[in-house]
A and B are shown apart, each in its own frame.
Chain A
Amino acid sequence: MGVFAHEYPNEAGIVRAALASSFVALLLGGVMGLIQALHRTGYVQVIDDSTYYTVLTLHGVSLAILFSIFFLVGFFQWAVTDSLDRPSEDIRFTKLWYALMVLGSIMAAVPILGGFIDQTEISADVLFTFYAPLEAHPLFYAGLAVFIIGTWLAGIDWFRSWWAWKQKNRGEKTPLRTFMVLTTMLMWYLASAGVAIAVIFFLLPWQLGLVGGVNPLLTRTLFWFFGHPVVYFWLMPVYMMWYVILPKLAGGRLFSDPLARIVFVLFLVLSVPTGIHHQYVDPGISEGFKFLAMTNTMFLLLPSLLTAFTVVASIEHGARQRGGSGYFRWLTDLPWNRPAFTGMALAALMFAAAGFSGMVNAGMNFNYLVHNTLWIVGHFHLTVGTAVALSFMASTYWFLPKITGHKVFSKRLGLVQVVVWFIGMVFMSNAMHRIGLAGEPRRTADPFYDGVTFETSLGTISELHAQIALGSVLLVVSLLLFAAHILLSWFNFADKDAPTPDTIPPALSGPEHAPAVLENFRLWTAIAIGLILLTYTLPIAAIVSGNGWFGPVTTFIGDTSSFLTGLFHAVFGVIP
């Protein structure tokens, strides 16, 4: 097998384009992050308080939606083409979904950017959660819908390739990477249905004036139907990197291929019916439903714990093959001088720390302590902001040569970059957690209130604010290093030679040990749908019977809906 870029030039072109889009969003979002961090801590205020939400929307949408998803579709395209060893069935279709994603991003970005321009009414200062009754220009919602449809088509593209491969390889196990892509995409179809319904049936008609109002609790619940599992859409590609690439970089082999498959199936089955854990303090959803969501969330710990074990064991295998020994001494026998390894390992370490703050978020009682405080922001800068973002950046050092056809500019620079990100995030995230415990809210330009002092247990609030500011500067320095490095590598300024083609070593316990039922995607999807219906039917029925599909406003469609609501009542007579 040669270099991917030469074997599959068309596919490599799409992967490069997706990565380029992703990095543009990363840089833009990162600069917004710096503006926010310096603004709300009071150090440098280059914007008015009233523009803060425009900046924060741009930050959330660019990073949580565009950067992450563009990167992962590129990575998945590589994973599928490379592991099935066959080109796209129809490269025009591949180009189509990429083009739709770009179009959707531009449509959504225009109204967000409009928020910076006083002369226009167009804006979308609704943050990446777009809770009604906050209103954005219709183009924003339409853009999101087009973007998501692009990702759906991407999934279809990969299923087509797999199907064609299967015809030629009957009875063989799906290659691990493709298996991971397909389970992730099935999860994504289920998850994104929630936000698609919210956007297409409720928010867009409302902004276009077709219906008189919205039921904010309904669209919010639909958002979180998607909002929790979307984190697995970011994380599952990262798990793929940790399972497939990290052991190889450590000089080891994946501990168990079947275990990796089981983990992905568990994510498919369990990811969605948990979203209500973001709504523990929402009035209008009864405690029983919240408790159910909490229980499901705790079950979701299982695949993450399995991952922790498998990934660490695979890395340890590498260390031992390189001569490592002892209970902890083997840690020194890992290739810490390589940015791809070190970056991903540091990202995984951060993720372990996030496990703790996530446990606090997930508990119904603990949640009251931290809800809507900066603690939450601290938490997800460890997860999506580091476990995902740093893994993506670090893996690029290994991955880029495959799709450009020449080595990266300098591994030493890469090493500095990933370490600076890690240090920056230690400062920023740790301070955010502690400030949050003191009660300082998130999503505010100006957290200083007359007569209110935030009590911190150790150190003062202004010391912690300084740590946020310092951390954010380090993070942006790291981002700029990354951007410069990528440019230098992309255009091959150092005139590097082609990478030596490398292969991924087989797992210690191979796919032949995986039970055949794991390949039964229909079964797992059906179970996932069953669980979703069990967890969501009653809460949604209760929300709708309380306030209608479109809120209390009477409209033609609203009246029709009360008819449907009546049906719900008839079916679930128990609901008040």
Chain B
Amino acid sequence: MSSGTEHEASPDTLDEPDDVWEVDIEKQIGHDEYDPVGTLSLITVYFLIIAFLWVFMYFVEFLGRGPTVV
């Protein structure tokens, strides 16, 4: 599959080039060299936020009110 690399200059510089794969890759990282620690960090932060919000919702918003009449 071809991927042309010549680009004509364009006034809207953001338009060029289309594909970050063609210009920005500094090094290819294979399956075995890749360790997604950033993902782990992000997901940990997310989990902490969710857990905190859940506790808040349950103890403050839910238990903090009288019984619901439905």
Contact = CB atoms under 8 A, between A and B. Distances in A.
Contacts of A249: 20
Contacts of B61: 369, 437
A407 B10 CA distance: 12
Contacts of A356: 49-50, 53-54
Interface stretch (A177-185, A325-333, A514-522): A325-333
Contacts of A415: 14
Contacts of A147: none
A554 interface: no
Contacts of B27: 321, 323
Contacts of B41: 327-328
A1 B56 CA distance: 54
A321 B29 contact: yes
Interface string A349-361: 0001001100110
B39 A309 contact: yes
A70 to B, nearest CB: 26
Interface in A318-345: 318-324, 326-328, 330-331, 335, 337-338
A251 B15 contact: no
A335 B20 contact: yes
A508 B34 contact: yes
Chain A residues touching B, range: 35 or more
B18 to A, nearest CB: 6
B1 to A, nearest CB: 5
Interface in B47-70: 49-50, 53-54, 57-58, 61-62, 65, 68, 70
Interface string A130-144: 000000000000000
A323 B50 contact: no
Contact of B12 (A323, A410, A503): A410
A371 B22 CA distance: 50
A294 to B, nearest CB: 15
Contacts of A316: 36, 38-39
Given A407-B15, A500-B3, A502-B3, A251 B25 contact: yes
Contacts of B25: 251, 321-322
A500 B12 contact: no
Nearest to A335: B20
Nearest to A323: B26
B34 A312 contact: no
A111 B2 CA distance: 51
A366 interface: yes
A499 B15 CA distance: 10
Contact of B50 (A255, A359, A371, A509): A359
Nearest to A305: B43
Given A412-B12, A500-B18, A508-B34, A366 B57 contact: yes
Contacts of B39: 309, 312-313, 316
B68 A322 contact: no
A322 B26 contact: yes
Contacts of A250: 20
Contacts of A500: 3-4, 7, 17-19, 22
B21 A501 contact: no
Interface in A192-249: 248-249
B38 A499 contact: no
A281 B68 CA distance: 11
19 contacts: A248-B21, A309-B43, A317-B29, A322-B26, A327-B38, A328-B42, A352-B46, A355-B50, A356-B53, A359-B54, A368-B68, A369-B62, A412-B12, A500-B19, A501-B4, A502-B19, A505-B21, A508-B31, A508-B34
Q: 4 smallest A-B Cβ distances: which pairs?
A: A313-B36, A411-B14, A508-B31, A327-B41
Given A368-B68, A407-B18, 14 more contacts: A250-B20, A316-B36, A320-B29, A321-B25, A322-B24, A328-B42, A330-B38, A331-B38, A338-B14, A352-B46, A359-B50, A412-B12, A500-B4, A502-B18
Interface of B: 1-4, 7-8, 12, 14-15, 17-22, 24-31, 34, 36-39, 41-43, 46, 49-50, 53-54, 57-58, 61-62, 65, 68, 70
